[in-house]
Amino acid sequence: MSGSSQIYRSSTTAPVNIAVIKYWGKRDTALNLPTNSSLSLTLSQKSLRAHTTASCSESFTSPDSLILNGEKEDIQSSKRTQACLKNLRSLREKLEAKDGSLPKLSKLTLRLVSANNFPTAAGLASSAAGFAALVRAIADLYELPQSPEELSIIARQGSGSACRSLMGGFVAWRAGTKEDGSDSLAEEVAPVSHWPEMRALVLVVSAEKKGVSSTAGMQTTVETSTLARARFSEIVPRRMKEIEKAIHEKDFETFARITMQDSNSFHAICLDSWPPIHYMNDVSRAAMNAVETANRKAGKLICAYTFDAGPNAVIYYLEEHTHQAAGVFKSILPRIPGWEGEFGEMIRPNEFGSLEQKSLMTLKAGVSRVICTGVGGGPEKIEEHLVDEKGIAVPHE
Amino acid sequence: MSGSSQIYRSSTTAPVNIAVIKYWGKRDTALNLPTNSSLSLTLSQKSLRAHTTASCSESFTSPDSLILNGEKEDIQSSKRTQACLKNLRSLREKLEAKDGSLPKLSKLTLRLVSANNFPTAAGLASSAAGFAALVRAIADLYELPQSPEELSIIARQGSGSACRSLMGGFVAWRAGTKEDGSDSLAEEVAPVSHWPEMRALVLVVSAEKKGVSSTAGMQTTVETSTLARARFSEIVPRRMKEIEKAIHEKDFETFARITMQDSNSFHAICLDSWPPIHYMNDVSRAAMNAVETANRKAGKLICAYTFDAGPNAVIYYLEEHTHQAAGVFKSILPRIPGWEGEFGEMIRPNEFGSLEQKSLMTLKAGVSRVICTGVGGGPEKIEEHLVDEKGIAVPHE
């Protein structure tokens, strides 16, 4: 390794996104093409973000490498990562072919270093933020002119939902119909500034063990659920239209109802799979119950639960209902970590009304931490690099 | 009241039935016409039965009355009970019109007394056995010539699933298509003698509170579940054919798979309802897990779970697999009540293999009793009357 070779670096942060219309089912497993469109909110990077530095240099010995949270990852045998790298290199090659003065970065070994600002143990899907950051950082390193929509086609091949983390605000992933996946990409439905009052409270539930992996679970559902077909072909397309309209009109009640219904629909087709798949547990159901109680007390829908492939609850609400929605949980769970920070401190504890004792005890026993956040922007280019000027990975904190 | 008037009495016992293809959804709420056909196993009356005496006399003052488990029921305002009584009286009137020598029982006040041999607290649907016993006892009192199929049309109006408790063995309730419900009736698919080795183990789970009532829940599902339509129109009709064939061929593995899939499908459309309906809890899921573990260990399907509108598990298995199937639960839950009696005593405790610790603890904490039973026969006429020779209700034990 020659220390004198130039080190090219670019760093970015990328957000987590939590879907309100769920992605569950692939029509093509190699290209990560989904059975249905989906829609998510990008969450603020103050709370949750992946930070990735892409670097390359003639001094780096092959092969390409990735260090994730201080651990070396095996990216050579990861088809998904290889697909992303190949696509990005190919775009760089085209630039270099057009402009001979450009350094031939496409020929250099990539050294990638990534770190999340949240514990992996929290059970939050970090792969979306991770692949979005990886694609964005390399695209920046290569100075690619492609738009986030175009890059989302590449990120999608890393991890389906990663395509939605390349943009901020309210993001749709259009399923597309083409066999090569060239129309299966993410689009901004509305920017953060359209509805910046949207908040999210994550209840982190300690699960005894990780359930079925998303990739395996999705295939089981596609192959065996007799109820799923209607979801893919009719129910989700209708809901996509309805929730996009609700977002454009800032109609929280419709947004909330569809969000909850679609989460339930997703878990219903999981239960209808063979063998059946369970992600929610009694703690999840106690959280649903608390949301229903808060909505009943308010006389309208002021908060909405949604559950991904795990027991954690994500609860969306508007800033004006912070007290009535998130305050209930702060009152029930005052001493668990996560209430600090900009979004959390403003939440005043609020009596939980008629929530039944059993749900109360289940939440107290089962929720290990909260994350207080809100809708946020897309990836950001930053100058804090995880690879130093000599090309060495900065030690993980 | 004149003590010298003749007291006419007839008594019957009727069984509980547990569906393997679930009834969930009415296309006509007044007539209890279902959205789909269903199929159940009639369970042995040694373990679970309703015992009903129907009596009438000129000495009984109006109105008709029913004492259930020692408590007077308000049957005047029960449209369902009134529909049964009206239909049965009408059939008796026709007999009396044809044969003038018959006593005019149709004009006399009915005094009905009923008792279950199992605690209502067990959360077992007792209305099926109750209405079947009521209809059978009055039909016997009136000496009606109608077949069980014909009487099932009347029992159905009391409680939908009651129609299946008028026969033993394996019983289908044909949804029918007629508006007046005259083709919505129960039929024997196979008698007990066809497959007498079929056993059932009920795990009684103590729920914190009764969930949504079946009648209310069904309507919520029919009106709101977007996934239910496929279940009603395609999935259940296909499964009915498959499971009837499996029963005829005594193919337990196919029977078991369809039983489990249909239970999951039913709970999936409950979750997909708005507001969502939950009947299973973490104890139910631990029971599913234990069944899956026993099947995995056996290398084939030797037992099948099914869940009705509550957290109780019913586990079907064949006598030859008593040790491998029910023995697992006896080993996990040796000290709870219910292992005594003919079916229970033969179960030898069996190691539970690789069942995870969490499921084990959840079952130990959540199952309050078991009921060991098997497939059994239909209603039986008995001479033990719950109304004495003077027309007085025998005190409830």
What's the pLDDT tens digit per position in A271-326?
999 999 999 999 999 999 999 999 999 999 999 999 999 999 999 999 999 999 99
Burial class of B199 by CB neighbour count within 10 A (0 to 12, 13 to 18, 19+):
buried
Chain B: residue whose CA lies nearest to A362: B282
Are the beta carbons of A209 and B358 separated by less than 8 Å?
yes
Cβ contact B227:A268 at 8 Å: yes
Give the fold, CATH level 3, of B7-191. Ribosomal Protein S5; domain 2 (3.30.230)
Q: How many CB atoms lie within 10 A of CB A298?
A: 14
Contact B269 A268 (CB under 8 A): yes
In whole angstroms, what is the distance from residue B178 CA to residue B184 CA?
8
Angle made by CA atoms B124, B125, B127, in degrees to the nearest 5: 140
Which residues lie below 8 Å from residue B134, measured CB to CB, with a gap of 6+? B52, B54, B66, B81, B84, B112, B114, B155, B158
pLDDT in tens, B256-302: 999 999 999 999 999 999 999 999 999 999 999 999 999 999 999 99
Whether B83 has its CB under 8 Å from any CB of chain A: the answer is: no
Chain A: nearest CA to B269, how far in angstroms?
A: 7
* pLDDT confidence of residue A45: 95
Residues of B in contact with A271 (CB under 8 A): 264, 267-268, 271
**In the block, residue with structure tokens 């098997």:** B374
- The vertex-A9 CA angle with A8 and A12, nearest 5°, equals 160
Q: How confident is the model at residue A233 (pLDDT cuts 50, 70, 90)?
A: very high
For chain B positions 198-237, those within 8 Å of chain A (CB to CB) are 208-209, 226-227, 229-231, 234-235
Among the partner-chain residues B265, B276, B282, the one whose CB lies closest to the CB of A227 is B265
* CB contact (8 A) between residue A226 and residue B208: no
- Quote the CA–CA distance of B57 and B42 in Å, as a whole number: 33
Kindly report the backbone phi and psi dihedral angles of residue A205, in degrees, each rounded to the nearest multiple of 5, phi listed first.
-105, 130
Rg of chain A on CA atoms, in Å: 21
Coil, strand or helix at B317 = strand
Question: For B195, which DSSP code?
Answer: S
> Which residues, listed in sequence order, are joined to residue A373 by a DSSP beta bridge?
A200
State whether residue B297 sits within 8 Å of chain A by CB.
Answer: no
**Confidence (pLDDT) at A206:** 76
For A227, the closest of B268, B276, B288 (CB atoms) is: B268
CA A124 to chain CA centroid, Å, is 8
The answer to whether B298 faces chain A, any CB pair under 8 Å, is no
The lowest-confidence range among A111-125, A166-180, B208-222 is A111-125
A371 touches chain B (CB under 8 A): no
Q: Per-residue pLDDT for chain B (397 aa), expressed as one digit of tens each?
A: 444 689 999 999 999 999 999 999 999 999 999 999 999 999 999 989 999 999 999 999 999 999 999 999 999 999 999 999 999 999 999 999 999 999 999 999 999 999 998 766 556 767 899 999 999 999 999 999 999 999 999 999 999 999 999 999 999 999 999 999 999 999 999 999 999 999 999 999 976 666 788 999 999 999 999 999 999 999 999 999 999 999 999 999 999 999 999 999 999 999 999 999 999 999 999 999 999 999 999 999 999 999 999 999 999 999 999 999 999 999 999 999 999 988 999 999 988 778 889 999 999 999 999 999 999 999 999 999 999 999 999 988 7
Burial tier of A201 (Cβ tally within 10 Å: 0-12, 13-18, 19+): buried
The residues near B64 (Cβ < 8 Å, ≥ 6 apart) are: B75, B76, B85, B109, B110, B111, B112
CA–CA dist B314, B326 (Å, integer): 11
Q: Residues 29..48 of A with a Cβ closer than 8 Å to B: which?
A: none
A194 in contact with B, Cβ within 8 Å: no
CA distance A266 to A223: 15
Cα A372 to chain centroid distance, Å, stands at: 16
Distance from CA of A27 to the nearest CA of B (A): 20
Using an 8 Å CB-CB cutoff, list chain B residues near A272: 227, 261, 264-265, 268
The pLDDT of residue A121 is: 52
Domain extents for chain B?
7-191, 198-374
B226, A209: Cβ pair inside 8 Å?
A: no
pLDDT tens figures, A23-53: 999 999 999 999 999 999 999 999 899 999 9
CATH 3.30.365.10 for the B198-374 domain, yes or no: no
User: And the tokens for B313?
Assistant: 């598990």
Neighbours of A249 (CB within 10 A): 10
Inform me whether the pLDDT recorded for A3 exceeds 50: no
Nearest residue in chain B measured CA to CA from A276: B264
Which residues fall within 8 angstroms of residue A129, CB to CB, at 6 or more apart? A14, A15, A16, A17, A48, A49, A50, A116, A162, A165
Hey, are the CB atoms on A235 and B226 less than 8 Å from each other?
yes
B272, B275, B356 ranked by CB distance to A265: nearest? B272
Determine the distance in angstroms separating the CA of B230 from the nearest CA of chain A, rounded to an integer. Answer: 7
Q: Which two tokens stand for residue A284?
A: 């999840």
Bond into B275 cis (ω within 30): yes
Q: CA nearest B296 in A: which residue?
A: A275
Q: What is the pLDDT, as a whole number, of residue A352?
A: 74
- Of the candidates B102, B126, B144, B156, which has an alpha carbon nearest to the alpha carbon of residue B52? B126
Do residues A382 and A14 make contact, with C-beta atoms less than 8 angstroms apart?
Answer: no
Rounded Cα distance, B58 and B346, in Å: 50
Q: Do A278 and B271 touch (CB under 8 A)?
A: no
Q: Give the closest-approach CA distance of A279 to chain B in angstroms.
A: 11
* A208-217, A278-287, A374-383: the lowest-pLDDT one: A208-217
CATH topology of domain A7-190: Ribosomal Protein S5; domain 2 (3.30.230)
Of the partner residues A257, A269, A288, the one whose CB lies closest to the CB of residue B268: A269
pLDDT band at A125 (very low <50, low <70, confident <90, very high): low
Contact (CB<8Å) B226/A265:
yes
Instruction: Please provide the DSSP assignment of A36-80 as one string.
Output: S-EEEEEBPTTTSEEEEEEEEETTSPSS-EEEETTEEE--TT-HH
* Distance in Å from the first CA to the final CA of chain B: 26
Chain B's closest residue to A231, CA to CA, is: B227
At CA A270, angle to CA A269 and CA A271, rounded to 5? 90
The minimal CB distance from A265 to the residues B227, B234, B278 is found for: B227
Position B2 scores a pLDDT of: 45
Q: β-pairing, B65-68 with B17-21?
A: unpaired
B227:A227 CB<8 A: yes
d(CA A348, CA A331): 8
Q: Give me the sheet containing B380-382, strands edge to edge.
A: B71-73, B65-68, B109-116, B49-57, B7-15, B380-382
The answer to whether residue B271 neighbours chain A at the CB level (below 8 Å) is yes
A280: closest chain B residue by CA? B282
Question: How close does chain A come to B300, measured CA to CA in Å?
Answer: 13
| Element (DSSP H or E) covering residue B171 | strand B170-173
Is a pLDDT exceeding 70 seen at residue A99? yes
Contact B146, B26 (CB under 8 A): no
How far apart are the C-alpha atoms of B310 and B22, rounded to whole Å? 13
Chain A residues in contact with B269 (beta carbon < 8 A): 227, 268
In angstroms, rounded to a whole number, what is the distance separating the alpha carbons of residues B303 and B252?
9
Q: Which residues of B touch A303 (CB under 8 A)?
A: none
What's the distance, CA B344 to chain centroid? Answer: 20
Interchain CB contacts (distance < 8 Å): A and B: 78
Beta bridge partners of B315: B201, B305
Beta strands in chain A (DSSP E): 7-15, 17-21, 26-28, 33-34, 38-42, 49-57, 65-68, 71-73, 109-116, 170-173, 186-190, 198-205, 303-306, 313-318, 367-374, 380-382
CB contact under 8 A, A226 and B269: no
Q: Which residues of A touch B275 (CB under 8 A)?
A: 292
Q: Given CB atoms, is A291 within the 8 Å cutoff of chain B?
A: no
- Count Cβ atoms within 10 A of the Cβ of residue A178 and give its class: 0-12 exposed, 13-18 middle, 19 or more buried: exposed
Evaluate whether B41 touches B200 at the Cβ level (below 8 Å).
yes
Compute the distance between CA of residue B129 and CA of residue B118 in angstroms, rounded to an integer.
11
Phi first, then psi, for residue B7 (nearest 5°) are -105, 120
Residue B293 sits at the chain A interface (C-beta within 8 Å): no
Give the list of residues 6+ apart from residue A299 with CB closer than 8 angstroms, or none: none
Side by side, which strands form the sheet with B198-205?
B303-306, B313-318, B198-205, B367-374
Sheet holding A17-21, edge to edge: A17-21, A38-42, A170-173, A186-190
Q: A265: which chain B residues are within 8 Å (Cβ-Cβ)?
A: 226-227, 272
Confirm or reject contact between B337 and chain A (CB < 8 A): no
Q: What is the pLDDT of residue A210?
A: 67
Which of B341, B373, B13 is CA-nearest to residue B166? B13
Measured CA to CA in angstroms, residue A89 lies from A139, A140, B317 at distances of 9, 12, 59
Is the Cβ of B80 closer than 8 Å to some Cβ of chain A?
no
